[in-house]
Structure 1
């Protein structure tokens, strides 16, 4: 019987894998619009992504190296990112040419036409018009295969340009023999210290005909930070040359081993068929039926995009480069890279827990090793580098989801320790978050988003603690998971930033600013996935929360504030093109209005996913945009990864078959009961009984004039009217006085620079202490500014530059005034003549963010405000190419002068120069404090 079963399972597997699911994959989906995908050859989770490069300018829509609107190809490189928002990769670029050798991109690039271009799963081909060369590309996990067909006889060249895309820190080419070269490339971009090695084997001998090297060039070894060369041979008409490129993150030996294991074949078509078979094996995990071929194409291309990364990042023998740049051997797991976790924790990783549990365990094992070797689990890790891109520590979501769903193959205790470690750091606002249970603008930029996302991650850690029976950790992190309550404004129902103890005003929920990550308050006011019943209760019940969900879809689709290119696919303020919105339509299920979920999900599936180059409504983001489609079309979505249930909707397809790793099949139809869908894939997983934890009391808000002339009124308000408030004040006379908190009864007046601290209490539970500083003006000057500050960078108004409060290097916290494309000019009226012997004004530089020091600063004096005398000119001495964020005082002693008026004139840098990524754009001047003695 056992033998029959094995044969039967084998027959089923063969039947599935022999079905050509890959015929429905269209790699061009997302290569237009803002999808940022690439069309080249890749196998599932492969190290190699062999694709054409049509962009070398680092532009946003060129992040993958290719955009469908382009008509020029520069070459074919072996690493690419799928749908991200920042340019990187594009390593080891080769380009075939004919005739005279040219080593500049303009010389070796070629026009091409989409009519002569083809892409399928694991394969890409194109005709290079300029050189009359037909290119075909395919790949294994670690070896890229190129086939160049030269359609006329003559001199053929293959250009190798190591300076392609990112900055080359170290380059090396070793000529092994006439048919073999080895390459080392260390580069800097988003990943600031990326290592890649390659072994290239040609099917016929070549000679170096031309080279450009700025370093050494001896004994068949070329070294430098500028390294371009041409390999040349004679070809007959119609002759084909096969080029194989094995890559490795560890060294030449690793590249050689990878070549030996995966590059031994000289049969291009055989490798192409194997790549197709690899794709069919993965794509067969979900079998959908539809009479609409476009829908099938969108679905299976979505699967293709999800399986494009994370990428295997170890050699065939298991050797990998750790986060500490040391070498290790992976034992009993595969080591991966490219973890876009802010995006993928929401849908892509929950999908993987359903159809790829083994690989999910490998991801978690990778996280554990990165914690051991690099200090923390990944946030946005790329090529053994932590980019620190985006926010949160969402690796804990992936771990909690895996543990909740009973996935084994990793050490639960080590995974918990690694997760807890991330939550106990003092970086990115976490110190303030731990101390006062929320992050304010004063503490850290993107304070609202960070508070909310940290709170969800803390809930995930609590779920791990519950599974492991760690009662104290469970209680601690469950309490932290309620920190969202401190930013929920009961007066308007929105998640609102707090500054200096109070709500930040003016408030516009449509405004995109530095208090939110790639979004605004509309997008983040629904992000409490760990406590949706609590959020509903805060709004006043299901009916009111339903109205609040209705409101995001019916609001104007115009955003205010900063331009944010990621906010696309708008239905009202709901933005399907960016991740913070992805769960919102499913929240109708929580207010007993599933028909509204049905309506919204179907509209998105119908309208925002198309079988065309611009068929994605926003960045693919390493599979998240596609994972949303896959899950939603199956009738499920994980609103709360880490929770043992799916939110449900009517399936989009007539029939869906899930072929799971345990050999079982689940069939879904439009008639499948929602109760069955809720537990799909983990019907038999045991749940753990909840432990007790205490409710958090939210911190009160403290309102008064931050800067006041003589007196100001202080008002303290609890966020829950049932709370009792206690407060304490400290002014400059109280430094050595022991003070205690007292009951707050009514608003009170202060007349000195004072710190006010307060907390709320309900049923014996105290909130964290909120403190606010209110400053009596250090002067009573008037100021006129003859320039217009960017609305995002006003620091609260013109008095901000003479209020005595200095901004720090984190300018996103809002303490600096920013002026774009303008010379800053301020005239201070002291009200009466006064002696001047020292003048200072302070500026900030963050050249990556377009903020540069002024070219020079001039100081003038006047008695009448009309006729000014130049007192001093100070030239800037800081290099605009210096990317360190830094503050510079332009201060000077002057010959004692009496004046009523002082003019400060800071000349802006001008347009950004060619070397800058934003070349041609207007630079900013950021100014804060002007002081006079």
Structure 2
């Protein structure tokens, strides 16, 4: 009987895979708009992404190398990123041409037309108009296959340009014979130190017809940082030249082994068919039924995008390059790269726990090795580099989710220790977060987002600790996970930044600024995935929280503050085009209004995902945008990864079949009970004990003028009216005195520069100490600023320029005035004539952020405020290309001069030059402190 069941299961599996799900895939979805996807050939989780490059300028909408609005192809490279927000990859570029070869990208590039372009799962083709060349591309995991048909007779060229796209740090080309070339490329872009090796094999003999080499050039061995070669051969009309390119992260030997294992086929169509078969197998894990072919294309392209990364990053023998740049061999798991974890922890990785538990374990084994080799879990890892992009330590979410769902195949203890270590470091505001359980503007930029995401990650670590029986760690991290309470303003219901112990004002929840990551307070005020009941209680119950969810959808659909291209797909202030909003519509389930979840989810599915090049409402972000679609269309979503349950909605398709790894099949229809969906795929849930932990007492708010003239009133307010507050003041005269906290009974008047410290207490649980430094002004000058500061960069007002408080190089903390596209000009009124001999004003440069030193600074003096004389002009020698973040004091000594008014004029850099990524945009001037003595 068992044999019959096994045979039946195998037969069913073969029948499932025999269906062509790949035919529904449209790789052009997301190549237009802001989707940032690529249309070229790849296989599931493959090392090779062989695709055309239409963008070589590093532009935002060219992050993948291709944009559907373009009409010129520069070449076909073998690595591409799927929907990221930063540009990289484009390694080992080949381009076929005819005639006299050129190594200039302007010369070897070619026009093309979309009508002569085709893309399917694992295949891409296009006609290059310039020389009438037909190009076909397909791939295995590690080998890219090119087929060039030269429709005219003559001299055919294949250009190899190692300077394509990112910066070449080190290049090497070795000619093995007239059909074989080995290539090494070490480059720098988003990932600062990328290694890739390749073995290129031509189907016919070729010879070098042109070269550009600025290093070694002898015995068919070339090196340098400027390195390009043209390989040529005579062709007849209609003749084909095939090229195979095997990649390796480890070395030439790895590339040779990969070629031997995957590059043996000589027939292009055979490899193309193999790629389709592999895609059909992966895509068959979920079968959906619909009469609407566009819906099928959107669904299976979404699944295709999810399976396009992470990418296998080891050779066929298991060798890989570790985070420490040393070579290792993976045993009993596959090693991967491209972990966009800030995005993908929300839906892409939870989806994988449902349909690919084995690969989920491999991802976590990769995390563990990266921790062992690099000192911490990946944040945004790319090509064995940690880019430190985005925030949080969301690898812990992936680990906790897998552990809670009983996924095996990795060492739970090692994974836990790596998670705990990553949470205990003193980087990116974690030191302040550990001490205070929240981050303020004074500590770190993007303070609200970091606090909220650290809090969720700590909850994930607590779940691991619970599974492993680590009671004290569980209690510690559960308390840390409540840090959100310190930023929840009970007066308005928003997550509001704090600065110098107080709420940051002025506050506009629609404002996109440096206190949030790619968002605003609307987007982040629902980001308490680990404690939705606690958030509901803070709002005053389900009815009020429902009103708060309603409010984000009813708010005006425009943001204020900084222009943030990532914020798209707005429904009120809800932004489907960026990840922080992705769980919000499901929160209606928590207030017993599932019909509202159903309505919002259906609207998004209907309107924001289309079978067109601009069919994604925002960046694909390595599969997250598509994973949201897949899960939501199935009727499920993981609001809280790490908790083994789904939130539910009405399934989008009439029928869905999910084929699980254990051989079972789950069928979902629109009539499937939501209770059944809620536990979908959770048979092996890890049992945990319900342990008690302390409730966090939030820190009180200290309200006072940060800078005052003669005296100021200090008020201290607990975030819960039931908390008791204790405080202490310290001024210069108290430096050597022993002081203690005393009960706060009402406002305190302060007349000297003073530090105030306060904490709240509830049921014996003390909050962290809130600290505020208030300063008596060092002068009584006035200042008139004649330029208009950018709204984001006012440092609290004009007096910040003369208050004696200097900002540091971390300008995102908000201590600097910023002026874009204009000169800075201000007049200081000393109120009475003063003799001055020294003048200074301080400026900042962060070239990548468009902030450049002024060309020059002029100082003028006047007695009447009308007639000014030039005292001094100060220049500098800082290169605008210098990307080091730095400050410069434009100081000068002058002959004793009596004046009542001092005018400072700083001349802005102007438009950003061609070499700058923001070429054509207006540079900023950032100024902080002006002084005169």
Q: TM-score by structure 2 length? A: 0.99
Q: Which moved more, 1:912-921 or 1:891-900?
A: 891-900
Partners of 1:219 and 1:795 in 2: how far apart? 62
Gapped regions of structure 1 (runs ≥ 5): none
Answering whether residue 382 of structure 2 is matched by residue 388 of structure 1, we say no
Partner of 1:883: 883
Partners of 1:267 and 1:341 in 2: how far apart? 38
Q: Report Cα offsets for 1:654-698 as digits up to 9, x if no partner.
A: 111111111111111111111111110013424312111010111
Partner of 1:656: 656
Partner of 2:316: 316
User: 3-state SS of the aligned residue for 1:291?
Assistant: coil
Partner of 1:175: 175
User: 3-state SS of the aligned residue for 1:46?
Assistant: coil
Partner of 1:855: 855
Partner of 2:709: 709
Partners of 1:319 and 1:12 in 2: how far apart? 36
Cα offset, 1:905, TM superposition? 1.7
User: 3-state SS of the aligned residue for 1:274?
Assistant: helix
Partner of 1:824: 824
Partner of 2:252: 252
Partner of 2:730: 730
Cα offset, 1:892, TM superposition? 2.0
Cα offset, 1:55, TM superposition? 0.8
Partners of 2:497 and 2:59 in 1: how far apart? 32
Q: Report Cα offsets for 1:552-601 as digits up to 9, x if no partner.
A: 01111011000010111111100101000000000000000000001000
Partner of 1:930: 930
Partners of 1:609 and 1:869 in 2: how far apart? 63
Partner of 2:454: 454
Partner of 1:502: 502
Partners of 2:771 and 2:677 in 1: how far apart? 48
Cα offset, 1:337, TM superposition? 0.3
Answering whether residue 747 of structure 2 is matched by residue 719 of structure 1, we say no
Partner of 2:513: 513
Partner of 1:339: 339
- Report if the CA contact (8 A) 2:403-2:686 is conserved: no
Partners of 2:405 and 2:70 in 1: how far apart? 45
Q: Report Cα offsets for 1:10-55 as digits up to 9, x if no partner.
A: 2111111111110111101111111110000000000000000011
User: 3-state SS of the aligned residue for 1:530?
Assistant: helix
Residues 220-619 of structure 1: pairs in structure 2 closer than 5 A: 220-619=220-619
Q: Report Cα offsets for 1:437-481 as digits up to 9, x if no partner.
A: 110011111000000000000000000000000000000000000
Q: Which moved more, 1:703-712 or 1:902-911?
A: 902-911
User: 3-state SS of the aligned residue for 1:346?
Assistant: coil
Partners of 1:22 and 1:729 in 2: how far apart? 69
Partners of 1:433 and 1:672 in 2: how far apart? 44
Partner of 1:803: 803
Q: Report Cα offsets for 1:77-100 as digits up to 9, x if no partner.
A: 000000011100001111101112
Partner of 2:95: 95
Partner of 2:676: 676
Partners of 1:791 and 1:872 in 2: how far apart? 30
Partner of 1:633: 633
Partner of 1:40: 40
Cα offset, 1:855, TM superposition? 1.3
Answering whether residue 191 of structure 2 is matched by residue 191 of structure 1, we say yes
Partners of 1:604 and 1:256 in 2: how far apart? 47
Q: Which moved more, 1:17-26 or 1:464-473?
A: 17-26
Cα offset, 1:899, TM superposition? 1.9
Partners of 2:644 and 2:921 in 1: how far apart? 49
Q: Report Cα offsets for 1:530-560 as digits up to 9, x if no partner.
A: 0000000000000000000000011110110
Residues 95-114 of structure 1: pairs in structure 2 closer than 5 A: 95-114=95-114
Cα offset, 1:889, TM superposition? 1.1
Answering whether residue 766 of structure 2 is matched by residue 766 of structure 1, we say yes
- Report if the CA contact (8 A) 2:52-2:76 is conserved: yes
Partners of 1:24 and 1:889 in 2: how far apart? 61
Cα offset, 1:364, TM superposition? 0.3
Cα offset, 1:863, TM superposition? 2.1
- Report if the CA contact (8 A) 2:16-2:284 is conserved: yes
Residues 148-163 of structure 1: pairs in structure 2 closer than 5 A: 148-163=148-163
Cα offset, 1:862, TM superposition? 2.2
Answering whether residue 117 of structure 2 is matched by residue 142 of structure 1, we say no
Partners of 1:684 and 1:520 in 2: how far apart? 38
Partners of 2:671 and 2:828 in 1: how far apart? 74
Q: Report Cα offsets for 1:221-247 as digits up to 9, x if no partner.
A: 111111122111100011011000001
Partners of 1:690 and 1:238 in 2: how far apart? 72
Cα offset, 1:788, TM superposition? 1.1
Answering whether residue 835 of structure 2 is matched by residue 835 of structure 1, we say yes
Partners of 2:660 and 2:476 in 1: how far apart? 36
Partner of 2:912: 912
Q: TM-score by structure 1 length? A: 0.99
Cα offset, 1:724, TM superposition? 0.6
Cα offset, 1:264, TM superposition? 1.2
Q: Report Cα offsets for 1:148-171 as digits up to 9, x if no partner.
A: 001111110011111111111111
Partners of 1:75 and 1:466 in 2: how far apart? 52
Answering whether residue 894 of structure 2 is matched by residue 894 of structure 1, we say yes
Runs of 4+ in 1 over 4 A off after TM superposition: none
Partners of 1:171 and 1:787 in 2: how far apart? 48
User: 3-state SS of the aligned residue for 2:489?
Assistant: coil
Partner of 1:867: 867
- Report if the CA contact (8 A) 2:405-2:684 is conserved: no
Cα offset, 1:834, TM superposition? 1.5
Cα offset, 1:277, TM superposition? 0.7
- Report if the CA contact (8 A) 2:853-2:880 is conserved: yes
Partners of 1:887 and 1:690 in 2: how far apart? 53
Partners of 2:755 and 2:314 in 1: how far apart? 55
CA-based RMSD of the aligned residues comes to 0.9
- Report if the CA contact (8 A) 2:142-2:258 is conserved: yes
Partners of 1:508 and 1:192 in 2: how far apart? 37
Cα offset, 1:864, TM superposition? 2.2
Partners of 1:299 and 1:376 in 2: how far apart? 35
Partners of 2:222 and 2:175 in 1: how far apart? 8
Q: Report Cα offsets for 1:893-932 as digits up to 9, x if no partner.
A: 2222222222222111111111111111111110001112
- Report if the CA contact (8 A) 2:179-2:203 is conserved: yes
User: 3-state SS of the aligned residue for 2:807?
Assistant: coil
Cα offset, 1:6, TM superposition? 2.4
Partners of 1:582 and 1:920 in 2: how far apart? 34
Partner of 1:647: 647
Cα offset, 1:791, TM superposition? 0.7
Partner of 2:3: 3
- Report if the CA contact (8 A) 2:406-2:684 is conserved: no
Partners of 2:791 and 2:596 in 1: how far apart? 37
Partners of 1:833 and 1:571 in 2: how far apart? 57
Q: Which moved more, 1:167-176 or 1:831-840?
A: 831-840
User: 3-state SS of the aligned residue for 2:495?
Assistant: coil
Partners of 2:380 and 2:302 in 1: how far apart? 22
Partners of 1:716 and 1:329 in 2: how far apart? 58
Partners of 1:639 and 1:398 in 2: how far apart? 13
Equivalent residues, number: 933
Q: Report Cα offsets for 1:774-803 as digits up to 9, x if no partner.
A: 110000111122211111101111111110
Partners of 1:541 and 1:13 in 2: how far apart? 49
